[in-house]
Amino acid sequence: MTRPKLLTLILVLVMALTALVGVSSTTAQDQPLRITLVINGVLGDKSFFDSAQRGMDNLINDGYNIQVNTIELGIDPAGWESGLGDAMADVENYDVLIVGTFQMGEFLAKRVHLYPDKYFIFFDDAVPYDNPEFCVEGCKNVYSVLYAQNEGSFLAGVYAGAITTSGLEGTNPEAVIGAIGGQDIPVINDFVVGYEQGACLVNPNVQRIVQYAGGWNDPAKGKEIALAMYEQKADIVFQIAGGTGVGVFEAAQEQGRYAIGVDSDQALIIQDTDPDQAQHILTSMLKNVDNSLYRAIDLFLKGELVFGQAEVLGIAEGGVGLAQNDIYFDNTPENILDLIDAVTEAVLNGEITINTVFEDRLDLGYNLAEVGLPCSEMPATDFDPSEYLK
């Protein structure tokens, strides 16, 4: 079953933190651009880091003249700073170095002035451009790309809040949804506040169960937490826990309940190996790391990527959204499909103010909130979902 998607709109949300400096590729036209991708973890999570690698693979598959060396630093944080330092010092083997996640920002920032002829792309957070303790020379050779995960998770919350009382096979009459975060940290809580707000929009009486696994590579823990949530009558659980979240899918399959994936279209990723389990992942909140890195390298090669600043990509820019595949269309009632389209349009038109945990994003039009905010305290909106939920 197919359904036309809303057109991706324009306007890039930019945080102009320093002077904007355009650059061009440092390699001769007939020489490949040498890229080092540093992963502070391991590939195989079927979500965040795999998405970053997929962006590189897609560039190669599309014929870009690049060479990519991916370095996996492993799951022990003790080795991340030294591993990044070693990769940065290997100046003979890269022109652009890419690394992500908030844990790596200061490690990167305090070294980039040592390599003024190299360029750095930092994803999922921004280096502290205005802090000279770390950005000695303003990190003028660093481009940061962030994602409005609160926007995409808002849509996921609308979806979960509607599904839990939809009568879909496997759901119960109680309005209960769950969310499992890898850690209790700001970026994960930004997912959670958007998710909770979306659910409250469609059902002010929805019960929201939120728990943190304490790590990113423990599927057994993810399964244990998800099973407990399903026991508490949650119909659908949003996994925001990387590899730990794989266990959520196992639990959903065993209990005949549902899950929402994260970062990548996780149903499609596992569909070939476990089609039954994939049917229980109704959608995924896409944080399109792959698209953003592809876009960044494309702009770099054109001499159009602007360094010394951070950029936030939301729904309008295709940075985040919901996966819309055959599983989504085949299992989602028509009225909820219409609801998601209408809510997306309302967000793009500025009719809905979405919550965030980041104070420095309030100038982008968001509302500051904390996890667990009562539905009665969510931002007011004229958008009425009731016509879609009759």
Task: Please compute Rg for the chain using Cα positions.
Answer: 21
pTM listed for this prediction: 0.84
Place of tokens 């090669």: 301
* Cα 356 from Cα 187, distance rounded (Å): 9
Whether residue 18 is predicted with pLDDT greater than 80 in this model: the reply is no
**54: its two tokens:** 């997929």
Arithmetic mean of pLDDT, 190-210 = 98
- Count CA atoms closer than 13 A to 249's CA, side-chain side: 33
> Taking the CB of residue 62, how many other CB atoms lie within 10 A of it?
9
* Cα 19 from Cα 139, distance rounded (Å): 11
Arithmetic mean of pLDDT, 119-140 = 96
When pLDDT is cut at 50, 70 and 90, the band that residue 29 belongs to is low
Q: What is the CATH number of domain 13-147+289-313?
A: 3.40.50.2300
Whether residue 108 is predicted with pLDDT greater than 90 in this model: the reply is yes
Whether residue 2 is predicted with pLDDT greater than 50 in this model: the reply is no
When pLDDT is cut at 50, 70 and 90, the band that residue 368 belongs to is very high
Whether residue 80 is predicted with pLDDT greater than 70 in this model: the reply is yes
- Residues constituting the chain: 390
* Cα 90 from Cα 373, distance rounded (Å): 47
Counting Cβ atoms within 10 Å, is residue 169 exposed (0-12), middle (13-18) or buried (19+)? exposed
**164: its two tokens:** 């839990």
Arithmetic mean of pLDDT, 78-82 = 98
The reported pLDDT for the residue numbered 390 is 75
Residue 121 zone, left/alpha/beta (φ > 0; ψ -120 to 50; rest): beta
* Spatial CB neighbours of 169, under 8 Å, sequence gap ≥ 6: none
- Dump pLDDT digits (tens) for 251-265: 999 999 999 999 989
What is the percentage of the chain residues whose pLDDT exceeds 90? 89
- Dump pLDDT digits (tens) for 325-334: 999 999 999 9
Whether residue 9 is predicted with pLDDT greater than 60 in this model: the reply is no
The reported pLDDT for the residue numbered 7 is 33
Whether residue 289 is predicted with pLDDT greater than 70 in this model: the reply is yes
Arithmetic mean of pLDDT, 169-175 = 97
Whether residue 141 is predicted with pLDDT greater than 50 in this model: the reply is yes
Chain centre to alpha carbon of residue 156: 12
| Superfamily of domain covering 149-286+333-352 | Response regulator (3.40.50.2300)
| Mean per-residue pLDDT over the chain, rounded | 92
Cβ-contact 381, 353 below 8 angstroms: yes
- Dump pLDDT digits (tens) for 218-252: 999 999 999 999 999 999 999 999 999 999 999 99
Residue bearing the bigger pLDDT, 294 or 7: 294
Whether residue 215 is predicted with pLDDT greater than 60 in this model: the reply is yes
Of 103, 330, 104, 286, whose CA–CA distance to 191 is shortest? 286
Cβ-contact 178, 147 below 8 angstroms: no
Which residues make beta-bridge pairs with 210? 179
Structural domain spans, the chain: 13-147+289-313, 149-286+333-352
* Cα 189 from Cα 210, distance rounded (Å): 10
What is the percentage of the chain residues whose pLDDT exceeds 70? 93
